[in-house]
Amino acid sequence: MLMEEVNESKGLEQTEIQIGNDPVMLTAVEVVSKLMIHNKVSLKARGNSIPNAVAVSNIIIEKMLVESTKIEKINLDTVAKAGIGDMTSTVEIIIVKRS
């Protein structure tokens, strides 16, 4: 299931959602329900879950909430564990309501 954590900063409510290997449409519906409550949703994924995060954001922006949301920012990063060659990519996709 989705893990989430609510952060409030500068008057804008933001929810962080960890994207896993759940069905993409189910996750998209849950994200849309969070967007009805909060102004900003941050989708975070790592490793093999990154394509799911991209798919969820595309479904929301291009199919479900076409005129009312947009992607504010995409952050890409790589986390290196101790040792040689053991690296994991991460992505954060921030979706906001249009004003």
Report which of 98, 97, 99 is spatially closest to residue 41, judged by C-alpha positions: 97
Identity (one letter) of the amino acid at 65?
Answer: L
Which domains can be identified in the chain, with CATH numbers?
4-97 (3.30.110.20)
Q: What is the pLDDT of residues 7-24, one digit of tens each?
A: 444 444 678 999 999 999
Q: What pLDDT, on the 0 to 100 scale, is given for residue 80?
A: 81
Stretch (H or E) spanning 47:
none
- pLDDT at residue 58 tops 90: yes
- pLDDT: is 32 or 7 the higher one? 32
Q: What pLDDT, on the 0 to 100 scale, is given for residue 6?
A: 44
Q: What pLDDT, on the 0 to 100 scale, is given for residue 53?
A: 95
Structure tokens at 28: 């998209």
